């Protein structure tokens, strides 16, 4: 009991479930107490015999701790739940081991009725809690089995009680031939007679027990039926949603205020609708503070709008909150009413391969500080929807290195907090293009010297040294080559040419070096994704010019290195005026959601319609 309660207590802590934690904490204390009392009063044999059982209990705990320690968090919780559930199943069925004894002795003395009743009630209640409240299979699966085990024991009790009732009824029928024991009144009189006759006292009690056992069985079966119906309802609902939402997809568009989320949503909607093989996605507004002109609402209406449930203006009218507090309140209200969203999506969806795009509020604290958006995303995924989080930031972010670093960290936070496949998009690249006349010169990046060149240089250097110092000379030459390479990198990163350095390493290596530097300072179009994903060397070089304090500079350098070495954040540019650019983003999202892998083949839409759509070139004018 102590071990079992410890494991369940651990599971309660891991899942942050106080309802599981509390009773098991009590069970842990009581179980330890019972063990101590048992140990003190154990007289059956030498107390050493108990050591073996303590060793088994300790080994189970060590095994569980090792599993939790070795496995990463989500798996360790599942492991803990699995072990706890297995223990509960064994615990629930353990009294059944006495069944053999019961049938051998033809008596239920070795299987106490109270324990069976408690086992049954405990199993039923936890089953109801596990299916209706926690919806956790680790809780309801062992308890369904526990309920079954408990009811089986009650049936055995009833069987023996009824049998003894029948035996005694037959006895007293022969003793009271003048009494009709088949009628209730007659049966009561038999019991009365029996109780008055001293020798028949035991038989009368057993008959009473028989009636009580019948009631017990009726109650047990009613509860068992209720449990099974509840579980069946849960399973059927889950099956229904699995079947219904097979192939459902969603983009959850998040990002700072004004970064172009709504524009992105409608650009996606228009582009996807223009493709013959796709359904038009449905845009769902999740921003209770969304403010749009009537014209915008007409041009790009939302298919489902959270403002129908609650809006920031409603909250401001009713409660004494500021705008930010009102938004947080409204979002928390949405989280508490996710059924509204589910029903709304089913209503507007209808097809089994529906595609949703969620336009989220621009307050980044909804995913950086509080888990509101995370709960929304988790709910969507629990409804078997393939979700891709699209984190958008404004192209202005990339002009300033410090801003770029903070944008990267924000994107990283979104990826970590929302715990779903994600892509990062830089919006408004069309504006960027205009301001740079279509592109800009790439900052020179550090490029390593070709290996052959480095080797050659080392050989040249070592050749100049004395024969006897050849090996040492090689090493020195290698360092000089590396030094040259580093100087080249630094100069390159600072935007300067490497002409003198190239000359310094000699022209005999045969490597071209353009006098105008066009090869190194290549013209990079904003459509080139590399433009938006500078490496740490370029970022650090650009920080050199800034007037940052040394400590802050060191911190920024470390962040740049971290982002670069682990390749943590990758940005995709989006120019809404370019079909190729939109298509590239859609391809990445499809890849993240594995779009189309479980879709049923469907008739392509009428080609003429698609051509009409393309002619209208709808995605080129998506502004909300």
Whole-angstrom distance, CA of residue 457 vs CA of residue 488: 15
**Residue 472 or 623 with smaller CB distance to ligand GTP:** 623
Q: Out of 4, 259, 401, 417, name the contact with ligand GTP by CB under 6 A.
A: 259
The three-state secondary structure class of 305 is strand
Q: Out of 431, 478, 522, 568, name the contact with ligand GTP by CB under 6 A.
A: 431
**Residue 108 or 526 with smaller CB distance to ligand GTP:** 526
Q: Out of 88, 147, 262, 401, name the contact with ligand GTP by CB under 6 A.
A: 262
**Residue 169 or 261 with smaller CB distance to ligand GTP:** 261
On whether the CB atoms of residues 466 and 477 are closer than 8 A, the answer is no
Q: Give the helix/strand (H/E) hosting 257.
A: none
Q: Out of 258, 323, 350, 438, name the contact with ligand GTP by CB under 6 A.
A: 258
Segment near ligand GTP (CB under 6 A), from 174-182, 244-252, 425-433, 452-460?
425-433
Whole-angstrom distance, CA of residue 44 vs CA of residue 517: 94
Q: Out of 576, 585, 586, 589, name the contact with ligand GTP by CB under 6 A.
A: 576
In 418-559, the DSSP E strands lie at: 422-427, 439-441, 523-525
- Distance between first and last Cα of the chain: 62
Segment near ligand GTP (CB under 6 A), from 117-125, 251-259, 323-331, 514-522?
251-259
Whole-angstrom distance, CA of residue 437 vs CA of residue 350: 46
Window 326 to 365, contacts with ligand GTP (CB under 6 A): 362
Segment near ligand GTP (CB under 6 A), from 60-68, 202-210, 428-436, 521-529?
428-436
**Residue 430 or 557 with smaller CB distance to ligand GTP:** 430
**Residue 95 or 362 with smaller CB distance to ligand GTP:** 362
Q: What angle do CA 479, 484, 486 make, to 5 degrees?
A: 95
Which residue has 């971290």 as its token pair? 562
Whole-angstrom distance, CA of residue 547 vs CA of residue 540: 13
Q: Does 424 bind ligand GTP (CB under 6 A)?
A: no
How many positions of this chain bind ligand GTP (CB under 6 A)?
Answer: 16
Q: Does 407 bind ligand GTP (CB under 6 A)?
A: no
Residue 188, token pair as written in the block: 């009561």
Which residue has 């192209």 as its token pair? 395
**Residue 123 or 624 with smaller CB distance to ligand GTP:** 624
Q: Does 285 bind ligand GTP (CB under 6 A)?
A: no
Segment near ligand GTP (CB under 6 A), from 30-38, 255-263, 338-346, 408-416?
255-263
Q: Out of 194, 263, 269, 542, name the contact with ligand GTP by CB under 6 A.
A: 263
Segment near ligand GTP (CB under 6 A), from 7-15, 106-114, 252-260, 380-388?
252-260
Whole-angstrom distance, CA of residue 201 vs CA of residue 191: 9
Segment near ligand GTP (CB under 6 A), from 82-90, 116-124, 220-228, 258-266?
258-266
CA distances (Å), origin 255, targets 52, 309, 374, 407, 418: 60, 23, 14, 10, 12
Q: Does 230 bind ligand GTP (CB under 6 A)?
A: no
The three-state secondary structure class of 445 is coil
Q: Does 13 bind ligand GTP (CB under 6 A)?
A: no
Q: Does 623 bind ligand GTP (CB under 6 A)?
A: yes
Segment near ligand GTP (CB under 6 A), from 63-71, 403-411, 426-434, 452-460?
426-434
Q: Out of 257, 416, 554, 616, name the contact with ligand GTP by CB under 6 A.
A: 257
Q: Does 426 bind ligand GTP (CB under 6 A)?
A: no
**Residue 194 or 427 with smaller CB distance to ligand GTP:** 427
Residue 37, token pair as written in the block: 């009392």
Q: Out of 157, 168, 261, 391, name the contact with ligand GTP by CB under 6 A.
A: 261
Whole-angstrom distance, CA of residue 148 vs CA of residue 153: 9
For residue 250, list its beta bridge partners: 356, 387
Q: Does 472 bind ligand GTP (CB under 6 A)?
A: no
- What does 381-435 look like in DSSP terms, one character per residue? HHTT-EEEEEEEEEGGGGTSHHHHHHHHHHHHHHHHHH-S-EEEEEE-HHHHHHH
Residue 94: HSE in the Cβ half-sphere, 13 Å Cα cutoff: 10
Whole-angstrom distance, CA of residue 361 vs CA of residue 327: 9
Binding site residues, ligand GTP, CB under 6 A: 257-263, 287, 362, 427-428, 430-431, 576, 623-624
């Amino acid at each position: 009991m102590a071990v079992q309660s410890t494991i369940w207590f651990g599971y309660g802590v891991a899942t942050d479930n106080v309802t599981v934690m509390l009773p098991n904490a009590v069970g842990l204390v009581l179980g330890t107490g019972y063990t101590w009392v048992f140990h003190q009063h154990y007289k059956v044999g030498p107390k050493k015999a108990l050591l073996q059982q303590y060793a088994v209990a300790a080994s189970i705990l060590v095994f569980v701790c090792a599993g939790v320690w070795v496995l990463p968090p989500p798996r360790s919780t599942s492991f803990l739940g699995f072990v706890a559930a297995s223990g509960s199943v064994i615990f629930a069925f353990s009294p059944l081991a006495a069944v053999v004894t019961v049938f051998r002795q033809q008596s239920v003395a070795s299987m106490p009725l109270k324990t069976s009743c408690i086992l049954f009630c405990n199993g039923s209640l936890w089953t109801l809690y596990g299916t209706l409240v926690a919806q956790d299979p680790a809780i309801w699966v062992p308890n369904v089995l526990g309920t079954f085990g408990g009811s089986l024991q009650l049936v055995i009790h009833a069987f023996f009680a009824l049998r003894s009732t029948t035996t005694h009824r037959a006895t007293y029928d022969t003793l009271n031939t003048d009494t009709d024991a088949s009628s209730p009144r007659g049966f009561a009189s038999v019991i009365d007679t029996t109780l008055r006759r001293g020798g028949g006292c035991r038989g009368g009690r057993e008959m009473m027990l028989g009636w009580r056992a019948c009631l017990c069985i009726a109650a047990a079966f009613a509860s068992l039926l209720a449990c099974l119906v509840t579980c069946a309802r849960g399973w059927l609902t889950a099956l229904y949603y699995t079947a219904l939402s097979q192939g459902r997809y969603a983009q959850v568009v998040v990002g700072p205020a004004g970064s172009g989320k709504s524009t992105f949503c409608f650009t996606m909607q228009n582009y996807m609708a223009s493709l013959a093989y796709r359904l038009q996605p449905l845009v769902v507004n999740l921003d209770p503070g969304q403010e749009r002109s009537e014209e915008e609402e007409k041009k790009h209406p939302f298919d489902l709008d959270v403002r129908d449930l609650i809006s920031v203006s409603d909250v401001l009218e009713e409660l004494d909150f500021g705008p930010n507090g009102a938004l947080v309140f409204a979002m928390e209200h949405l989280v508490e009413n996710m059924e509204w969203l589910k029903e709304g999506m089913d209503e507007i969806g209808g097809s089994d391969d529906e595609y949703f795009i969620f336009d989220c509020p621009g307050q980044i604290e909804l995913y950086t500080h509080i888990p509101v958006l995370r709960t929304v995303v988790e709910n969507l995924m629990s409804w078997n929807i393939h979700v891709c989080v699209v984190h958008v930031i404004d192209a202005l972010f990339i002009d300033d290195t410090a801003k770029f670093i903070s944008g990267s960290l924000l994107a990283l936070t979104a990826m970590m907090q929302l715990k779903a496949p994600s892509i990062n998009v830089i919006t408004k690249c069309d504006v960027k293009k205009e301001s740079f006349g279509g592109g800009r010169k790439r900052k020179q990046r550090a490029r390593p010297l070709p290996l052959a060149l480095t080797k050659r240089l080392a050989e040249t250097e070592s050749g100049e040294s004395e024969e006897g110092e050849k090996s040492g000379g090689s090493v020195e030459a290698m360092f000089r080559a590396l030094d040259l390479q580093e100087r080249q990198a630094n100069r390159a990163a600072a935007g300067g040419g490497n002409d003198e350095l190239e000359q310094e390493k000699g022209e005999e290596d045969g490597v071209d070096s353009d006098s105008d530097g066009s090869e190194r300072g290549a013209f990079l179009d904003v459509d080139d994704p590399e433009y938006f994903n500078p490496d740490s060397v370029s970022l650090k070089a650009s920080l050199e010019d800034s007037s940052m304090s040394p400590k802050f500079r060191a911190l920024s350098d470390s962040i740049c290195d971290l982002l670069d070495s682990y390749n943590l954040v990758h940005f995709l540019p989006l120019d809404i005026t370019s079909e190729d650019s939109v298509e590239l983003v859609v391809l990445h999202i499809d890849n993240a959601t594995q779009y189309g892998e479980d879709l049923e083949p469907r008739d392509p839409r009428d080609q003429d319609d698609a051509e009409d759509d393309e002619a209208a070139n709808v995605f080129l004018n998506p502004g909300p």
